[in-house]
Amino acid sequence: MSRSPVHTMCDERFANQRRLSEGSNSRAGDEVYSCTECQKCFSNKKYLTQHMNIHTSKYKCSECGKCCRGRGALAVHIRSHSGEKPFECSVCGKRFRQAGNLTEHSRIHSGEKPYTCHLCDMAFNRSSQLTIHLRVHTGDEPFKCSLCDKSFSQSSDLQYHERRVHSNVRPHSCSYCGKQFATVSDMKRHVPVHTHAKSFSCRHCSEEFVWRSQFKTHLLKSHNEGTCFTCHICQKKFTHRCYLQRHMQRREGVKPYAEECVVLSGTDLAKTASFSL
């Protein structure tokens, strides 16, 4: 399933972030160039010409038959068959098929987050992360389960749901006790029962924890970390306003609402330690 960027003014979906920019330009009054084959529109004649190469099969993959818009795009696509990843991160050694993917990855090491949500203060190092985050505000959940009424904002969440809820296949086994799990993440959460490995380290002090829930509770109680936004109906608390908004949107017939930000301390922190973050 694809994760298409959405134009925030008209909700139209685009194939990628560059196409989204093209769509934004066309709405700013630029001349529009339309494809006669599929009616897609472009703000630049060069983009239309490149797009037409897909219909004419000028750059066609000999392995799978996929048609690309240009020689460079075809070269990148062929790497998906050959497994070639010529772009290597100088910090961690991870390799990528495209230079752009390496650029985005490098921001993880530098801490750079150039993609900022215009509706809240959250920032991201990848444009795709911002696209997914915007669904918190819009309530958009385009990935629907074909076996139940559940829907999700990310395709990965849908795939996880299908494996965990609707599949009897449990291919991941615990090496200590043999218990089987539907997903790798479920299995990894189970393993500390045997190892007691402390995988969560506090950035404020030397404390370490086996479970994420213990780690989150420690941050709240010991370091007052967690400016909370509270649901005025059920009193559930959230670390960001946008998460509270999503929670309220899911309550049928209730409009998004956010109480004032409250920094918890002392007795209040102890009372809220059991809330999920």
Residue with tokens 């059991």: 274
Convert the pLDDT of each residue in 46-78 to its tens digit: 999 999 999 999 999 998 888 999 998 898 888
Cα 209 off chain centre by: 26
| Res. 14: pLDDT tops 70 | no
> Model confidence over 227-264: pLDDT tens digits?
567 787 787 777 677 778 778 877 655 444 434 334 44
What is the DSSP code string of 237-262?
A: EESSHHHHHHHHHTSTT-----PPPB
CA-nearest of 219, 192, 207 to 273 is: 219
- DSSP class of 210: S
CA separation (Å) from 130 to 16, 73, 111, 116, 269?
Answer: 13, 24, 16, 7, 31
Give per-residue pLDDT as tens, 137-170: 888 888 898 888 888 888 888 888 887 788 777 8
The full DSSP string for 92-108 is T--EESSHHHHHHHHHH
Res 59: pLDDT: 92
Is pLDDT at 265 greater than 50 in this prediction? no
Widest Cα–Cα separation across the chain:
69
